[in-house]
Amino acid sequence: MKAMAQDARPLDGLLVVDFSQFLSGPLASLKLADLGARVIKVERPGSGDLCRHLYLSDTDIDGDNSLFHAINRNKESLTADLRDEDDKRMLWALLRRADVMIQNFRPGVIERQGFGYDAVSEINPGIIYGSISGFGEEGPWKDLPGQDLLAQARSGLLWLTGSRDDPPMPMGLAVADMMAGNALVQGLLAGLVGKGLHGRGAHVQTSLFEAMIDFQFEVLTTHLNDGRRVPTRSAINGAHSYLGAPYGVYQTADGYLAIAMTPSLERLATLMEVEGLSHWYGDAAALMTHRDEIKAIMSRAVIQRSTRAWLDVLQPADIWCSEVLDWPQMLASEAFQALDFHQVIRRNGTVELNALRGPLRIDGQTLKSPRAAPELGADRDKIINELLSDLMPAESNQTN
């Protein structure tokens, strides 16, 4: 697929100043950068974003870890000490020109540094200002560490994953950070549209906790209206606490098979030649009340054949099912290749990193960009010369 040219992207010309660190805020600015925005990442001199040194594995790429490269590609780095008056004047000058600012400090921290929403909007009333906290700006948890696993743990999510006898199980991804970052993007884009309609800026706020609650809104709504019964995970092949049999993942003779909703238990049992299920035919309630019994019978049948054999039976009959792939299998699949998801990004013209593009396509074009995450402070002089030379005294224009 063809990559969309920078000047054709919908946010080309938008200036984003990103004070955030780690994952949630930088993920939001990454999405804006892919859509064409110019993102300037503000980092502390010497150490930069702590995420530069938060290793997921022992993979080091040109002095930074793979996580930092993944979420900070396509950005510029500006070093600034928020305690230094010259650097603060530089940032104020930059924020006067910014369209969007992002921060994810604990509540009160950015305000003490002098860059809270009230202060920034006073000098730039039209700014769309995005804030991500751990648990909101009010309440007894507001000062607690805003970390992904902790937000998952307090949200109730850990009791939805796995099977009944499993302990609380977190998701194997930083889902709170990612959901909060994507939620913030939605709010920032809404703020920009609103500004175009009525001319006003906005303060867009979310938190890891709110993102986790919203992530569960479908099943939480059920809980709030069914007498507040606690969801019960299936004892066998758990996949969704609120869905009945046969929904789940089953071991086959050589792998695993995921089975989702089916037209009827009778049709599925007939196709799969499974005996022992007939007394539940036509009883929709039984799929939940006898969920584990049905799934146990299904499990004994599914393990008798290979995954491919089951797919050959079920897919032509339009039964919703799938093989369970690991990463190498997924990446090698024709479906992945057809989406042209892989991209190579480069730093200094020599260092190459395999990466993934964002999930959007616009007018049939992808939002790929070969530009890697910046080295710490690499763009400071360029930013000052291009954006701030007419607003700052010459003595402040020195590389930090």
Residue 28 to residue 354: CA distance in whole angstroms: 21
User: Is 177 assigned a catalytic role?
Assistant: yes
* Overall pTM > 0.85: yes
The residue-averaged pLDDT of 207-214 equals 98
Q: Do 165 and 306 have their domain in common?
A: no
Residue of 18, 84, 177, 379 marked catalytic? 177
Query: Does residue 299 have a pLDDT over 60?
Result: yes
Sign of CA dihedral 285, 286, 289, 294: negative
The residue-averaged pLDDT of 142-146 equals 96
Please count the structural domains in the chain: 2
Helix 175-198 and helix 24-34, axial crossing angle in degrees, nearest 10:
50
Helix 208-215 and helix 175-198, axial crossing angle in degrees, nearest 10:
100
The residue-averaged pLDDT of 171-175 equals 95
| Banded pLDDT at 391 (limits 50, 70, 90) | low
Averaged confidence pLDDT in the chain? 94
Q: What percent of the chain has pLDDT over 70?
A: 96
Q: Which of 293, 324, 355 is the last residue of a domain?
A: 324
Q: Which of 278, 297, 324 is the last residue of a domain?
A: 324
148, 134, 146: which is closest to 56 by C-alpha?
148
Q: Do 170 and 310 have their domain in common?
A: no
* pLDDT given at position 395: 43
What's the chain's Rg over C-alpha atoms? 25
Query: Does residue 60 have a pLDDT over 50?
Result: yes
Q: Do 292 and 144 have their domain in common?
A: no
Residue with tokens 């402040």: 396
Residue 229 falls within a domain, yes or no?
no
* pLDDT given at position 61: 80
201, 206, 157, 213: which is closest to 186 by C-alpha?
206
* pLDDT given at position 393: 56
Q: Do 76 and 180 have their domain in common?
A: yes
| Banded pLDDT at 38 (limits 50, 70, 90) | very high
Q: Do 198 and 62 have their domain in common?
A: yes
Instruction: Tell me the residue length of the chain.
Output: 400
104, 114, 105: which is closest to 83 by C-alpha?
114
Q: Do 131 and 277 have their domain in common?
A: no
| Banded pLDDT at 66 (limits 50, 70, 90) | confident
- Whole-angstrom CA distances from 379 to 73, 183, 284, 398 are 13, 28, 62, 12
* pLDDT given at position 57: 67
Query: Does residue 64 have a pLDDT over 90?
Result: no
Helix 217-225 and helix 208-215, axial crossing angle in degrees, nearest 10:
70
Q: Do 92 and 206 have their domain in common?
A: yes
Instruction: Write the CATH number for 72.
Output: 3.40.50.10540
Q: Which of 274, 289, 324 is the last residue of a domain?
A: 324
Residue 233 falls within a domain, yes or no?
no
Q: Do 52 and 180 have their domain in common?
A: yes
- Whole-angstrom CA distances from 330 to 127, 257, 333, 334, 356 are 42, 15, 5, 9, 13
Tens of pLDDT along 352-370? 899 999 999 999 999 999 9
Sign of CA dihedral 338, 251, 161, 278: positive
Residue 72 falls within a domain, yes or no?
yes
Chain-centroid distance, C-alpha 96: 29
Residue 243 falls within a domain, yes or no?
no
Query: Does residue 394 have a pLDDT over 90?
Result: no
* pLDDT given at position 59: 77
Q: Do 22 and 102 have their domain in common?
A: yes
Q: Do 165 and 305 have their domain in common?
A: no
* pLDDT given at position 56: 66
Task: Give me the DSSP letters along 42-60.
Answer: EE-TTT--GGGG--SSS-E
| Banded pLDDT at 397 (limits 50, 70, 90) | very low
Residue 65 to residue 76: CA distance in whole angstroms: 17
Top-confidence residue, 187 or 350: 187
Q: Output b/e per residue, 129-141; b: 16+ Cβ within 10 A.
A: bbbbbbbbeeeeb
Instruction: Write the CATH number for 255.
Output: 3.30.1540.10
Residue 126 to residue 193: CA distance in whole angstroms: 12
Query: Does residue 392 have a pLDDT over 80?
Result: no
Quote helix, strand, coil % in the chain, to nearest 5.
40, 15, 45
Tens of pLDDT along 86-141? 999 999 999 999 999 999 999 999 999 999 999 999 999 999 999 999 999 999 99
Residue 331 falls within a domain, yes or no?
no
Residue 240 falls within a domain, yes or no?
no
Segments forming the whole domain that contains residue 63:
6-215+337-396
Strand-strand pairing, 60-61 and 248-251:
unpaired
Tens of pLDDT along 250-295? 999 999 999 998 889 999 999 999 999 999 999 999 999 999 999 9
Residue 136 falls within a domain, yes or no?
yes
Query: Does residue 55 have a pLDDT over 90?
Result: no
Q: Do 17 and 44 have their domain in common?
A: yes
Q: Do 170 and 40 have their domain in common?
A: yes
Q: Are 250 and 308 spatial neighbours (Cβ–Cβ below 8 Å)?
A: no
Own/partner long-range contacts of 44-51 (Cβ < 8 Å, ≥24 apart): 44/79, 44/80, 44/81, 44/82, 45/79, 45/80, 45/81, 45/377, 45/400, 48/77, 48/79, 48/376, 48/377, 49/21, 49/22, 50/21, 50/22, 51/21, 51/22, 51/23, 51/26
